[in-house]
Structure 1
Amino acid sequence: MSDLRCEDGMAGIFPCHKVDLASFTPLPDMESSFVNDLWGWEDEETGMQLAIVGTFEGTAFIDVTDGSNPVYLGTLESEVPGDSGNIWGDVRVYEDTAYIGSEAIDLATYDPGAGTIEGFGIQVVDLTQFRGKTAPTEVELTAHIDDVTNSHNISLNEESGRMYVVGSVYDVEVCGTPNPGFPVLNGNGGAIVYDVATDPHNPQFVGCLTEDGYSHDI
């Protein structure tokens, strides 16, 4: 389905209002069962425009430079395959690097006594690996932040080069432990701040905003 004008309230099978349909990529074409978030990247060197799509299975990458002819380039698998937390994810981009978070947690690792659990963390992906790609390829993980167990939301200030991770369970000692002994599986603290400008592939911990306890969104 591509290049369908919005006529009489429909663009192909989709209801519309003053918006034409450039193209449609079905879930099976992205090797996914459902999606949760969408971000993008434009390569200043080549002009490539990339859609970065959070899916239950991981994160799909689609070349949308030609909006009428999108090309699926592959999926980076979730850090916790099959976990229901994969229904929520978030993606942000700084320069040529993507940062991917998810609420996915590994229930098998949960320790009720310690209140600890392992999870998705933050995936770091060098997007220049897609230059010249024209077909599905194996997506390489560039780095991984594992002091964040999981997260609901990521925000990134492109001017300051600061990334903010919220809705998170974490294991950063200097941040303290909000709600000590209380096993909140999808978050127990405020924003965790990282510097991504100094070395985009190696985010550096800056500090935490924990005085108000748990933050869900930013």
Structure 2
Amino acid sequence: MKLNLFFFCTTLMVFFGYSQTPCVSGFAGEYPCNDYDLLSNVPVSTLANTLGSPEGSDVWGWTDPITGEEYAIAGMTNSMTFVDISDPVNPVYLGRMDTQSGNTSFWRDVKIYQNHAFIVADNVGNHGMQIFDLTRLRSVTSPQTSTADAVYNDVVLNLENDVTNKSTYYEKPTINLSNLSIDLIMWNNKNHF
């Protein structure tokens, strides 16, 4: 999973026309590769919606515990996208979940706990924390726009990051107040899913 996710991260964050570019002398094409070949490229124009000027923000991975399929959950400035990377040479775009607030932000973060994605964004108004059941990806046959399974929006914040403590089941979204980041919320996942 880590190798496939690295391949996808590389192609998502670095947009160029090479496909299956071998790593030679530390470079895949013109980009540093650290002994990893570049296997595929999925352009942002495929992944994101048209709100604002879409760019990549964050990428996380999930392996389906039942099927073994591997997925990249990629943050865009305006949405989260879902890509099946089980075959890293032929990634399959499954769709996206648009931002909760309708605004764009470079800081969109996702963390995975068990079979759920927890998504936060900074400077987008009333976004809160979107929660998406990743097992829904099993039944996707063509790209679609999905909605969150739940949204934690009790407090209006600019959530900048999300930290998951897997031993205590807590999510700790962080906020930014005048360049001072503080932990403010703790979300207990243990009994919710």
- Find out whether 1:196 has 2:189 as its counterpart: yes
Q: Mean alpha-carbon deviation: is it higher for 93-102 or for 7-16?
A: 7-16
Match of 2:160 among 131, 146, 152: 152
Contact 2:26 2:34 (C-alpha < 8 Å) held by counterparts:
yes
Cα-to-partner distance string for 1:195-216 (whole Å, 9 max, x where unaligned): 101113xxxxxxxxxxxxxxxx
- Compute the TM-score of the two structures, normalised by the length of structure 1: 0.71
- Which segments of 5 or more consecutive residues in structure 2 lack a partner in the other structure? 1-17
1:97 alignment partner in structure 2: 116
Task: Give 1:13 deviation, angstroms.
Answer: 4.8
> Matches of 2:180 and 2:91 in 1, distance apart?
36
1:26, distance to aligned residue in structure 2 (A): 1.5
Match of 2:73 among 52, 67, 80: 52
Aligned counterpart for 1:135 among listed residues 133, 142, 156: 142
Counterparts of residues 68-217 of structure 1 (less than 5 Å): 68-83=89-104, 86-106=105-125, 119-148=126-155, 149-167=157-175, 184=177, 189-200=182-193
Give the drift of 1:132.
3.4
Counterpart of 1:21 (choices 26, 32, 38) is 38
CA distance in 2, matches of 1:188, 1:154: 12
Structure number with bigger Rg:
1
| Secondary structure of 1:160 counterpart | coil
User: Contact 2:103–2:124 (CA<8 Å) still a contact in 1?
Assistant: no
**What amino acid is the match of 1:65?**
S
Q: Is residue 98–residue 147 contact of structure 2 (8 Å, CA) maintained in 1?
A: no
Query: Would the aligned equivalents of 1:80 and 1:104 in 2 still touch at CA under 8 Å?
Result: no
> Which of 66, 83, 90 is the matching residue for 1:62?
83
C-alpha RMSD of matched pairs (Å): 2.2
* Percent identity (aligned): 30
Corresponding letter in the other structure for 1:158: K
Give 2:41's aligned amino acid.
F
